[in-house]
Amino acid sequence: MIDRPSMDTPRFDISAALQRILQDEQISPPLAAILALTELIENSDAGTMFELVKALNDGTQVLKTTTSNPISLNAGCELFTAFVTLFPHDSANFNDLKKELIRQGQQYAADALTYRRKIAQLALGFIKDGSVILTHSYSRVVMQTLLLAHQHKRISVFVTEARPRGLGIKTAEGLSAAGVPSTVILDSAVAYVMDKVDFVLVGSEAVVESGGLVNAVGSNQIAIIARAANKPFYALAESYKFHRLFPLSQYDLPSHNSKILSFPSLSRPEPSVSSSNATIKSANFSATETTHSGHARPDSDSPLRITQEQISQNNPDVDYTRPDLISLVFSDVGSLTPEGVSQYLVGMFAG
Amino acid sequence: MAEVRIAPQHRSVEILASKLRRRSIVGSRATALETLLVLRQVISKARFSNINQLVEIIRSVGRRLVEAQPKEHSVGNTVRKVLHHIREEYQTATRGTSTTTQTSFSISKFVLQGQPKRQATVPKTEIRGTLRENDSDDPDSFARGLKPVLMEAIQDVLDELETVYDNVAKNAKDHIHPDEIILTLGMSRTVETFLKTAAHGRNYTVIVAETAPSYSGREMAKSLSLAGISTFLVPDSSIYGLMSRVNKVILGAHVILANGGMFAITGSLVAATAARAHSTPVVVCAGQFKLTPLWNLYHEYGAHDFGNPSDVLGFEEADLVDKVDVVNPYYDYVHPDLIDAFITNDGDHPPSSIYRHVFNRLLKETYDDEDNEL
């Protein structure tokens, strides 16, 4: 009888549920994770708290494997699991408790959809008329904030292209459609544009315990350039993105793996190669055969080609921005200094 | 709620408002004290039969006063503090009689307030069942029950304001060491008390900048030297030159903002910037009532408070007066990065935790979020 839950849980496909929930454009990964976990509770027949928490942890593990970048999913899972563990209950009937937990999860996800509006309202006070704003990639909360600001003030927006996914173009299209003057700039042109900018506004994947920010790759360099130019760097983050993680460097992020930044073992030792010395290349090729990885192209007749896919394959999706580079974090719980974030995390997870 | 009695335009409120507007009362402590006295009068005369009416009365007075002089932030702070006390007294008074406080735990609450408290809320043994809102038989009974405790609460705030200088100065000896050279400017009563307290049985030197155009530094220098402290009075222009010999800069504040920045008398920014260039610590002495739950982000020159230009260029220079624009800002905005510590009557804080401790701990204890916009 005790074995039943672990037998039954796999029957419910949590990753399919997650994908289905994520279809909704408004739902961000942490919320989707919470909703997926409520469905897991619905489908689990755990009879005790211990079993339930185990089922949730197993579900979290499954969810993590579905994506290369589990950071924001993890934030949602941890929040919900901690909530379940701490939920005060005295009901004799465990099924009632489960129903209540499901209701709480769904209620929260519904409430959380209003958070972006709250954040936009909060950030509005910090945007003055005539501001020139630099933003990075695409973020729903940044979009909402900029669109709200556009209704009240004259703003113009520079948005980075944000390679490799190029989501900055989506931002620029959305803003232009709403009539906000916006220009896409190259990721490499951030320093060039910084002097024209009043402040930087970015969204977030997660805000970690140090107050640092995990966001689409490139945020860190924007923050560094903003600091060098003495421009404020604001992050927008819904409180469900607060994540109990304390990275000390870029490489401590869970999204980092050995493939990122790896050097492909090239078939040629000479740095200067052109198509003319293809013969030398093929001669060396046989010597280094054993060290080949899948990345290096063994076709010796054509020059070495580097494709966009190859580049994005061994490049990170997200990076970590140190808290001292961040001026303020706007969240639904208030506008916080980066240090303020840790206080909420400690409240939830410590003690 | 059509019949909410807005405070009958109290004479005292109007008098204070016009005094504030005409700047016959200036300074954060003086305005805080006056505001508190007016609020006490308003409460003692007010007629209300439930908490919302009372809060609305106080708020309308607060709005009136803040509108009269938006640059004196301690007026708003005092009103916020009184409102906070009203709610607190109301809650302790009605606890046990109302059954609305059912513990409901939700994820958003979990995020906001952290883990649920283990201890069950022990119902207060003293049950003041007499406090009944909206009593149709006796509409004044609520006010009669609540007023005495409110008066006590206001008295506490008043006491705090009256003892603020001594309480800020109580640890002065930990901050000023023998034979140090301290630089200060302006005439801040808080700093004056602080320096004098530190001087008991200890020799150190104070350099006071004149602080043009008010020259309040002269008054400060006189007062300090009368207290037996070795004092130098220097022109403002030599602040940078002297900084290499200074061990510590001690400044007063007009208002401290939630981000840890502050408004302080003109010249403070010069001193703080010069101190930064020499890595000299900058310490700010201020009472807790100067902490404001507001952010000032755009410190445009025009957003500052301007004084009388004749202090800078008088009419004796008549042939110049129509040829130049003369501005005389009262305050400088000093960025939090330039300040090392705030010494308050509620402990010492670095600027970064003005936000963290102050907004969340102190300010939540002092003010309620909903009152940030009066």
Residue B110: which of A83, A112, A232 has the nearest Cβ?
A: A83
- From A50's Cα to the closest Cα of chain B, the distance in A is 19
Q: Does A80 touch chain B (CB under 8 A)?
A: yes
Q: Over 70: is that where the pLDDT of B135 sits?
A: no
- Domain shared by A166 and A235, yes or no: yes
Nearest CA in chain A to B104: A88
Q: What are the backbone angles phi and psi of residue B50, rounded to the nearest 5°?
A: -150, 170
- Domain shared by A94 and A141, yes or no: no
pLDDT at position A289: 44
In a domain, A180, yes or no: yes
Q: Over 90: is that where the pLDDT of B229 sits?
A: yes
Interface test with B, best of A81, A83, A127, A332 (most B CBs within 10 A): A83
Torsion of CA B332, B334, B335, B338, to 10 degrees: 150
Task: State the Cα–Cα distance between residues A164 and A216, nearest whole angstrom.
Answer: 10
- Determine the average pLDDT of the residues in A175-185: 96
Q: Tell me the per-residue pLDDT of B50-87, one tens digit each, with 9 for 90 and over.
A: 888 888 888 989 888 888 888 888 888 888 888 888 88
- Domain shared by A71 and A167, yes or no: no
Of the pLDDT bands very low, low, confident and very high (cuts 50, 70, 90), residue A280 is: very low
Tokens of B135: 């009593």
Nearest CA in chain A to B106: A104
Q: Over 50: is that where the pLDDT of B360 sits?
A: yes
Q: Which residues of A touch B354 (CB under 8 A)?
A: none
- Domain shared by A226 and A344, yes or no: yes
- Domain shared by A106 and A161, yes or no: no
Nearest CA in chain B to A122: B295
Contact A336 B355 (CB under 8 A): yes
- Domain shared by A76 and A131, yes or no: no
Q: Where does B11-99+125-162 sit in CATH, by number? A: 1.20.120.420
- The CA distances from residue B17 to B5, B43, B66, B215, in Å, are 20, 17, 8, 28
Q: Tell me the per-residue pLDDT of A281-339, one tens digit each, with 9 for 90 and over.
A: 444 444 444 444 445 444 555 667 888 888 888 899 999 999 999 998 999 988 888 88
Residue B115: which of A86, A334, A336 has the nearest Cβ?
A: A86
Q: What CATH number does the domain containing A164 carry?
A: 3.40.50.10470
pLDDT at position A312: 84
Q: How many independent structural domains does chain A possess?
A: 2
Contact B355 A79 (CB under 8 A): no
Contact B295 A125 (CB under 8 A): yes
- Domain shared by A91 and A137, yes or no: no
Q: What CATH number does the domain containing A34 carry?
A: 1.20.120.420
The SS3 assignment for B336 reads helix
Contact B356 A340 (CB under 8 A): yes
Nearest CA in chain B to A100: B106
**Interface confidence (ipTM) of the complex:** 0.73
Contact B105 A87 (CB under 8 A): yes
Residue among B240, B217, B238, B170 at smallest CA distance from B198: B170
Contact B295 A104 (CB under 8 A): no
The SS3 assignment for A233 reads strand
Tokens of B175: 């901050």
Contact B111 A240 (CB under 8 A): yes
Q: Which residues of A touch B113 (CB under 8 A)?
A: 347
Helix, strand, coil shares of chain A as percentages rounded to 5?
A: 50, 10, 35
In a domain, A102, yes or no: yes
Mean pLDDT of chain A: 85
Q: Which helix (H) or strand (E) holds A134?
A: strand A131-135
Contact B106 A128 (CB under 8 A): no
- Determine the average pLDDT of the residues in A122-149: 94
The parent domain of residue A242 ranges over: 115-251+316-349
Task: State the Cα–Cα distance between residues A177 and A212, nearest whole angstrom.
Answer: 32
Q: What is the pTM of this model?
A: 0.77
Place of tokens 């689990």: A44
Q: Does A189 touch chain B (CB under 8 A)?
A: no
pLDDT at position B147: 85
Listed range (A82-91, A191-200, A254-263) with the worst mean pLDDT: A82-91
Contact B110 A105 (CB under 8 A): no
pLDDT at position A30: 93
pLDDT at position A1: 42
- Domain shared by A186 and A325, yes or no: yes
Q: Tell me the per-residue pLDDT of A49-58, one tens digit each, with 9 for 90 and over.
A: 889 999 999 9
pLDDT at position B296: 60
Contact A128 B298 (CB under 8 A): yes
Residue B107: which of A79, A333, A339 has the nearest Cβ?
A: A79
- Residue A30 DSSP symbol: H
Of the pLDDT bands very low, low, confident and very high (cuts 50, 70, 90), residue A351 is: low
- Domain shared by A81 and A134, yes or no: no
- Determine the average pLDDT of the residues in A165-174: 94
Residue among B236, B247, B221 at smallest CA distance from B340: B247
Residue among A80, A115, A82, A336 at smallest CA distance from A238: A115
pLDDT at position B359: 54
Domain boundaries, given as residue ranges, for chain B: 11-99+125-162, 165-365
CATH topology of domain B165-365: Rossmann fold (3.40.50)
Q: Does A333 touch chain B (CB under 8 A)?
A: yes
- Domain shared by A123 and A80, yes or no: no
Q: Which residues of B touch A232 (CB under 8 A)?
A: 297
Q: Which residues of A touch B353 (CB under 8 A)?
A: 339
Contact B355 A337 (CB under 8 A): yes
A47, A81, A112 — which closes off a domain? Answer: A112
A103 contacts A82 by C-beta, under 8 angstroms: no
- Determine the average pLDDT of the residues in B192-201: 92
Count of CB contacts below 8 A, A vs B? 70
- Determine the average pLDDT of the residues in A7-34: 83
- From B252's Cα to the closest Cα of chain A, the distance in A is 24
A85, A112, A139 — which closes off a domain? Answer: A112
pLDDT at position B85: 83
pLDDT at position A235: 96
- Domain shared by A97 and A131, yes or no: no
Q: How many residues does chain B have?
A: 374
Nearest CA in chain A to B296: A126
Q: Over 70: is that where the pLDDT of A277 sits?
A: no
A94, A112, A130 — which closes off a domain? Answer: A112
